[in-house]
Structure 1
Amino acid sequence: MSGSTSSLRHATADIEELRERFRPVFEKIAEGNLDREKGRVFPYEQVRWLIDARFGAVRIPRELGGFGASLWQTFDLLRELGAADPNVAHVWRNHLAFVEDRLNAPRSAATDAWIERFLDGEFVGGGWTEANNGTYANIQTKLVPEGDHWLLTGAKYYATGSLYADWLDVLAVNPDGVPTTALVKADQPGVSLVDDWRGFGQKTTASGSANYSRARVEGDHIFPATDRFAYQGLFYQTALLAILAGITQATLRDGIAALKARKRNYGHGLAQSAGDDPQLLQVVGKVSADAFGAQAALSASTATLDEIAHARIAGDEEAVKRALLDGHVATTRAQLVIIEAALRATTIVFDALGSSGVSEDLLLDRHWRNARTLASHNPRVYKERILGDWHVNDADPAKVYAISAGQSE
């Protein structure tokens, strides 16, 4: 499919202009992060601030009314948002992915209508992972035709962003057993969203259950899952990596502040002031290097995603295939680097702080809990094996997913 028939365009945005627009919103979101974490307060207002700032249109080309950002720019902004509040950043994962899918889709009246919805501030939540231990190879959620529309019945978990959404992006199978995605209005009869996420991190992402009982789906709101954009799995994974890189940056920020606030040092320390102790400064330096490494890995891997998009725009399918291979390898490498950096930084930061560092007033443990939760979405041990198999045996790193475009939990 030629990229010229889609809404994808080369990026025209300037990263500093994007930061100037969105950083004040990120900073405002960061101000209440600690209190929301302590009280498990859902950030409805904060998500709305971003919608009103048109964060959901960041990837839409300027000529269509958006900001024309590259994938590198988009994920770098998501990293900054992750440093402000990783829960809010995670909420945007499914929306940004569906926007990318509609940009990749052939231009049509229906596709243009979706882009207009995005520009008008309508928000999309997720619903791919089967509840009750279902898998992508055994999808139990069903779509059946009824007159001029379809009916959706099934149960999903990890429905991230659902409580904030106008639309839910749901994976089902049609009567022929073909995996199909359906866009369902969140507030209609037959849709039940349940806040039953029990994870110890990412507590306010609305990643619980979504249940569907003969929910209506319009005919132009269903798409074969195999038609989803080819780098979808990479996009989903990179969104998590951007947030992890943001958490690592936040750990450095909060670790520095906590060390500066320490009033005394241990008797066997190397300086009277904790802030002058070379060993404690060494810990901060190591956390700083982890934050730098995470950001660098994210930047390198997202550049390969832009190369896939560029090949799509050119309509060069062979170049798309080559870029996809590079993208899978780069994203896998970035996952290993970023997860290691995030988990190490969020652990060792306490070595610079002493007993005061574990105070619930600081809630520094939220960084580790959130990082550990995000890192568990798509187990890195498998990725190490996949990467090694590619190096040694030229194994295709993309041929391990039940759905060709790939999809992490």
Structure 2
Amino acid sequence: MTFVLDIKANRKQTHIIKDDQEAIAIAHQLASKFTQGASDRDREGKVPLEEVNRYSESGLWGITVPKEYGGSFVSNVTLAEVTKIISEADSSLGQIPQNHLYIVESIRLDGTDQQKKFYFDQVLKGKRFGNAFSEIGTKNVADVQTRVTKTGSKYLLNGRKFYSTGALVADWIPVVASNDDHKTVIVILERGTPGLTIIDDWNSFGQRCTGSGTTIIENVEVSEEQIILQFQAFERPTTQGPVAQIIQAAVDVGIAKAALKDTLHYVRNYARPWIDVEIEHGYEDPLTLYNIGQVVIQVHAAEALLRRSGEYIDLANANPTDRTVAEASIAVAEAKAIAAEASILASNKLFELAGTKSTLRQYNLDRHWRNARTHTLHDPARWKYYAVGNFYLNAENPPRHPWL
């Protein structure tokens, strides 16, 4: 169905976060609230507008706005930490702003001064970017069929998108399109623009509350001021790709932590020992302890690599060269690969160790596996391993694009 949710209702003034410490503190406060009802929201599969409003009003959607435009421009270590904290509470809420943050980075890197002033002011006032990036049925994710064509002093935009995470609750819909020179640009449309249709048809078994459905763009007239020359970010060394990827990795780490937390709770309280060992409680089972240790180590490793990758991005931001940006991309690739595996491992081991009772629908613990399996498909870990191996063995820098 066409989505007509009133996103302006009951929205409050947006707080402006002053520094990294405040960002992390607010993330923890929100997470304690978002954890409540996360399972019920997953069952319903509805877009969590009330929670999204609270999230953006907290100021966390504006923490990457540069200081010269009024933002706090937190470190990428903090950006990843905030995303991880929220994702552990509710991974759908962790994922929804990922493309908003991507667009903020795009504007920072390649927006005109006029665009920066306008859109950063919008962000600090609580306005949200969604996305209309990916298409289905094309050769690959980089094969963009949506077109923006110049007609006199204006441009005409046409296309159809899927996986439009965040568009349903957004004030602005950035659309990835190919221009007349066959280069990739981002066209930012205001919600309600004639010819822009957002459809609530997301039906994945995981990340059910992200509302990542279809966006249709039909003969939408736009001006040059609405176009960000995104291709420029990948023609020179920038942190555009690594920033996109660290957010993805942080969501996966958050899912892994949530699954591990529930594993510990259910094993401690419900698991029974196996008949071949003389113990009283399931939490004393030596093979259970071995497997718990395996999951804990994997999750802690993912957290450590996530933080390390943020440090590399911050270094590249301070000195963007071919080498520093490549190192940042590879560091994030390492984090993303281990985060994907940790989330799948933790959400799968939960049932093996907690026992049959943990599969009962009333607990809805399968949401962790469903969310992990769905979100980790975004960027396949196998290509992360390839990029890391090629970098260290053959000194080959990774390609520049949003998926690495």
Work out whether the TM-score is over 0.5.
yes
1:182 counterpart residue number: 187
Measured after TM superposition, the shift of residue 361 of structure 1 is 1.6
2:345 counterpart residue number: 344
Question: Which of residues 55, 59, 70 in structure 2 aligns to 1:54?
Answer: 59
Deviates more, 1:28-37 or 1:348-357: 348-357
* Contact 1:280–1:351 (8 Å) recurs in 2: no
Letter in 2 for 1:126: N
Q: What do residues 214-245 of structure 1 show as CA deviations (whole Å, max 9, x unaligned)?
A: 12323211022222372222222211110100
Equivalent-residue separation in structure 2 for 1:80 and 1:144 (angstroms): 42
Deviates more, 1:252-261 or 1:79-88: 252-261
2:3 counterpart residue number: none
Deviates more, 1:205-214 or 1:275-284: 275-284
1:332 counterpart residue number: 333
Q: What do residues 133-175 of structure 1 show as CA deviations (whole Å, max 9, x unaligned)?
A: 2545542211123455322111111111110111111111223
Alignment partner of 1:292 is 2:300: yes
1:245 counterpart residue number: 253
2:207 counterpart residue number: 202
1:407 counterpart residue number: 402
Deviates more, 1:134-143 or 1:51-60: 134-143
Change (3 A) 1:269 1:82: farther
Measured after TM superposition, the shift of residue 298 of structure 1 is 0.5
Deviates more, 1:45-54 or 1:338-347: 338-347
Change (3 A) 1:114 1:396: same
2:363 counterpart residue number: 362
Measured after TM superposition, the shift of residue 33 of structure 1 is 0.3
Change (3 A) 1:296 1:356: same
Letter in 2 for 1:279: L
Change (3 A) 1:109 1:261: same
Change (3 A) 1:362 1:306: same
- For these two proteins, the number of residue pairs brought into alignment is 385
Equivalent-residue separation in structure 2 for 1:277 and 1:77 (angstroms): 35
Measured after TM superposition, the shift of residue 63 of structure 1 is 5.2
CA RMSD of aligned residues (A): 2.3
Change (3 A) 1:380 1:88: same
Alignment partner of 1:45 is 2:50: yes
Measured after TM superposition, the shift of residue 389 of structure 1 is 2.5
Question: Which of residues 159, 162, 165 in structure 1 aligns to 2:164?
Answer: 159
Equivalent-residue separation in structure 1 for 2:162 and 2:329 (angstroms): 26
Measured after TM superposition, the shift of residue 203 of structure 1 is 1.4
Change (3 A) 1:175 1:260: same
TM-score normalized by structure 2?
0.89
Alignment of 1:11-50 (within 5 A): 13-15=19-21, 17-50=22-55
* Contact 1:294–1:342 (8 Å) recurs in 2: no
Equivalent-residue separation in structure 1 for 2:26 and 2:142 (angstroms): 42
SS in 2 for 1:169: strand
Equivalent-residue separation in structure 1 for 2:330 and 2:403 (angstroms): 16
1:396 counterpart residue number: 397
Measured after TM superposition, the shift of residue 266 of structure 1 is 4.5
1:122 counterpart residue number: 127
Equivalent-residue separation in structure 1 for 2:354 and 2:58 (angstroms): 37
Sequence identity of aligned pairs in percent? 26
Deviates more, 1:67-76 or 1:173-182: 173-182
Alignment of 1:218-257 (within 5 A): 218-228=223-233, 230-257=238-265
Measured after TM superposition, the shift of residue 62 of structure 1 is 4.6
* Contact 1:281–1:352 (8 Å) recurs in 2: no
Equivalent-residue separation in structure 2 for 1:244 and 1:334 (angstroms): 10
Runs (5+) with no aligned partner, structure 2: 1-16
2:374 counterpart residue number: 373
Equivalent-residue separation in structure 1 for 2:124 and 2:153 (angstroms): 27
SS in 2 for 1:324: helix
Equivalent-residue separation in structure 2 for 1:181 and 1:61 (angstroms): 20
Question: Which of residues 174, 177, 202 in structure 2 aligns to 1:172?
Answer: 177
Equivalent-residue separation in structure 2 for 1:222 and 1:96 (angstroms): 17
Equivalent-residue separation in structure 1 for 2:120 and 2:283 (angstroms): 51
Runs (5+) with no aligned partner, structure 1: 1-10, 313-319, 399-403
* Contact 2:146–2:176 (8 Å) recurs in 1: yes
* Contact 1:270–1:277 (8 Å) recurs in 2: no
Equivalent-residue separation in structure 2 for 1:329 and 1:226 (angstroms): 21
TM-score normalized by structure 1?
0.87
Change (3 A) 1:340 1:176: closer
Q: What do residues 87-106 of structure 1 show as CA deviations (whole Å, max 9, x unaligned)?
A: 01111100011112222346
Alignment partner of 1:85 is 2:73: no
* Contact 1:159–1:210 (8 Å) recurs in 2: yes
Letter in 1 for 2:402: Q
* Contact 1:171–1:180 (8 Å) recurs in 2: yes
* Contact 2:273–2:284 (8 Å) recurs in 1: no
